[in-house]
Structure formats: structure tokens, C-alpha cells
Structure 1
Amino acid sequence: MSADEKSLLKKAGPILCDAVNDEKAGKLSRALVRYKQGIELIAQAMRKMPIGSEDRNKIMKNFAIYVRKVADLEYRNKTSAEVDQLRITANSIGHSYKEVFTRCCDAQLRMVHVQDAYIVAHHQLVNFVRFCELIVSLSANLLVITLLTGEDARKNQAEFAELTRSLEKRGVTLLVDFSSTIHDREIIFDNGWVVKSGRGLDYFRPPEGKYILGAYDMAQRPCHETTIDFLKRKS
């Protein structure tokens, strides 16, 4: 491990200790800020290490613990004000992820937390990859994507591992957890946006052919009827 990497990790230690103390004292907003500061320093160190190296793998274990802590706090601390609602009618087009989620992506975005019990079928996995592609392309400082999905998705471990390796090459860490109790579908962006959707990412109808409009361009793909709520957390 280089001196630069050690220096970054040394800086992260006291900040994360303060975050733990803030959380114990019930100061959740301040704990979130400090956890994120510590995580960013660890991420900077990890980006300097070869993917798959022993040092990086050891650090990843603690990194994952703190990231999951942030995800949990984000869900517990999401005081929000409704900003907008998108009603997608059956068979309508023009609702690609780019049209829906661009407003949520910017240079301040560091972490995205996806909760969706149904990233199970092949097309649902592909939708999640499309979502990751979009937010990576629109968020220059993105560090982490977390996914909390249902137990049935454990069968997709190889697919999640492949996506994890791909994102690592772009400096983004993917952490996937499984739960038998989650039901709600929502996405929390740590720049303040919260998106709630009855169908999650799975609102596109299957294409009716291989050589038709919408087979690849999701803006041309007909949709199922659904409602998407966009909320902006209060500062």
C-alpha cells in the first residue's frame, strides 16, 4: 500500500469514528455527512489500488459496512417534500430512463441506493444495467451504487458479479444485498432526490418483435401504466 493510500485511510478513521458517535447520539443528519466524508476518502484510496489486490479486498469489507450504514440512514432520515409526479399511461412512449432520471443526476451525486425486490428475471437485470449505465454517464463523481433486492435474486450472483467488475473499471462500487421482507420500490439519490415507482425500473412492455422501434431504443418502447413520484428531501 502506498503512502498516499495510507494517508487517505488515516484521514478517514477519525471522521468515521465521529460519525458512529453522532449516530449513537441520534444526530442522524450529521452522522450521514461524516459517514459520506469518510467513505469518499476510502473510495479515493481504493481507486488507487489494483482491482482484486489483497489490500483492496481487505478495505472493501469495512467500506461495504459503512456504505450499507449510509443506505440504512438514508431510508430512516428521508424527510421529503413532493415535487412532481409522472403518470405513464398504458402503451405510451417517450419514458426512457434518460427522460425519467436525468433530473436526479449531477456532479454532487456520490451514492445511489436502489430498493427493488424484483431484480430477478433476465429483463429486470438488463433494466438495472441500463439504469447503472445512465447514472454513471451523467454523474461524474459517483462512488457507489447499492441494490437491496429479494431473496429470489440470489440466483443472479454471477450476473451481479459481472456488473460489479464492469463498474469497478469506472471507479464505481456496486454492493448488492438480499432481503425476504422488502416490498416497496424506490431509489434514493444522495443529492436529495427520492424516486418512488409502483413498478420500479420494470415499467416497459416486452418488445413484440426483434426488428421494430423500441427493440433497443427504450424511448421508443411502449410502457405499462404506472405512476412515478419524484421527491426532493428537505435540507
Structure 2
Amino acid sequence: MSSALSGVEASAIGLLKRAVEQDGKGKAQEALVCYKEGIKLLMEVMRETTDQIRKQAFRQKIEQYMERAEKLKNHVDSQIEAGKYHQAIQITNDSTGHSYRSMFTPYLDELVTEVHIEDPYIRSNHQIYNLLRFCELLVMSVAPVKRIHLLTGRDENVHLQHNKLGELQRSLAEHSVEMIVSYSDTLHDRVVRFNNGWIIKIGRGLDYFKRTGQYSIGFCDMDLRRCHETTVDVFHSKHTKDG
């Protein structure tokens, strides 16, 4: 087996191990994403393998993972259909591995064209940077996002806040994404809604990362950034907020 193919196999094994771990923790959507990507890579390895014994072993593993993924998907679909889907995630103090990519990618698919963000604290510099990181995730994801609706509170220096958000709006427009900004003085809840039905409520909104040194691990890769304690509740609704 070539070194390149060995690398693909290692990636497949890593993804499928994570799928089983997430499955065991009750994180169905995360598990399904990992099953899908892991199976895809393992099938690639199987096709390129000439050893018939190894090929048969890969085929059996793929069938096992596909069977589990199908059962899990059917369970999630039935929960969604009954309006009973709810996943609770606890982010513990100082824990890592909770980047926006890790948190939101399982719910972004080809059906997502609009995103609604309600967060009263997109005001200070680091909070607007958090929004920027989230928007970068949307631009880079498989979702063909065309419009982002932001509802937030007014900063004391609303002119500066408006200028910073305006720069982000212009940058998003270069990627064919429109961002509509509205303000509320009474907003309290923090929620992200995708128009494929997924609703993610985070106790601290997008602002759950701790500060770190500019030259410290975790400054760039947010999966390595330590977090504040918060709760995340994931729901699904067929009745999403109108655009």
C-alpha cells in the first residue's frame, strides 16, 4: 500500500473512531458527519486495495458502519418528524475542542441559504472578531449561504460598532453574501438559526472563548482555545424564522 493510501486509511480510521465516540455520547449529528466522511475515505481505500483479503475486511467494516449510520439517521429523522429532537451539550470551564467548525458544521448542509444570529453582545472588538470567524466558517462551508441576519444590541460607541460591522458587510458582499444588521435594546436570548431547521442556543452566544496570549497556542486555532463554561441546546423545527 502506498504512503498516500496509508494516510487516507489513517484519516478514515480517525474519523470513524470519532464517530463511535460521538455516537456513544449521544451527539447524533456530529456522529453522522464523521460516519459519512469516514466511510467515504474507507471506500476509497477499499477501491485502491489489491489484496483481496484486506478488500473483504474493508467491505465488512464499511457495511457495519453504514448500517449503524443508517439506524442513527433514521432515529434522528423520527425525532425531528415528531418535533422531539433535542441535544444538550455542556462546555466545561477550560475545555477545548469547541471551535465554531466543531460546533456548527454538523448542522450546515446544502439546504442552508440563510442564517439568523441573535446575540445582544456583538459589540466589543473581540465579539465582532468572533462574528467574523463564524462568517468565515459559513463562507467556507458546503452551505450556499446567501444572507445572514444579525440582531444585536447597540454599543455605547454605536458609530464605531456600525463601522466595524459595515466593513464585515462589505467583505461578505465580495463573497456574494448579504448581511443585514438590526439592533434591539431588549434582546436577551442568544441563538443561531439555519433555514434547514436547525436551531442552536448557546448560553454565552458566540462569546464563549477565553482570552489567550497573542503568541500562545490557541490564539489562531480555536479548537485549541480554552472555553468558558456554557450550555448548548440543539433543536430542530420545520418552522424557521422568515427571512
For Structure 1 versus Structure 2, the TM-score category normalised by the shorter chain is 0.5 to 0.7
Shift of 1:137: 1.0
Shift of 1:80: 5.4
Asked if structure 2 preserves the Cα contact closer than 8 Å seen for 1:188 and 1:195, the reply is yes
**Residues in 1 aligned to 2:206 and 2:222: alpha-carbon distance in whole angstroms:** 12
SS in 2 for 1:194: strand
Asked if structure 1 preserves the Cα contact closer than 8 Å seen for 2:123 and 2:154, the reply is no
- Give identity over the alignment, percent: 44
| CA deviation vs aligned residue, 1:104-154 (integer Å, no higher than 9, x gap) | 211110100000000011100000000000012114421100100002273
Q: What is the number of residues matched between the two proteins?
A: 156
Q: 2:172 aligns with which of 157, 167, 170?
A: 167
**Residues in 2 aligned to 1:225 and 1:98: alpha-carbon distance in whole angstroms:** 18
Following TM superposition, the consecutive aligned residue runs of length 4 or more in structure 1 with deviations greater than 2 angstroms are: 79-83
**Residues in 1 aligned to 2:180 and 2:217: alpha-carbon distance in whole angstroms:** 34
Asked if structure 1 preserves the Cα contact closer than 8 Å seen for 2:108 and 2:143, the reply is no
Paired residue type of 1:117:
P
Paired residue type of 2:205:
G
- 1:182 equivalent in structure 2: 187
Tell me how large the CA RMSD over aligned residues is: 1.6
- Kindly indicate whether residue 237 of structure 2 is the aligned counterpart of residue 233 of structure 1: yes
- 2:118 equivalent in structure 1: 115
| CA deviation vs aligned residue, 1:51-83 (integer Å, no higher than 9, x gap) | xxxxxxxxxxxxxxxxxxxxxxxxxxxx95433
SS in 1 for 2:85: strand
Shift of 1:210: 2.0
Q: 2:206 aligns with which of 201, 205, 212?
A: 201
| Structure 2 gaps, min length 5 | 1-81
TM-score by length of 1: 0.63
- 2:22 equivalent in structure 1: none
- Kindly indicate whether residue 226 of structure 2 is the aligned counterpart of residue 222 of structure 1: yes
Max Rg structure: 2
| Structure 1 gaps, min length 5 | 1-78
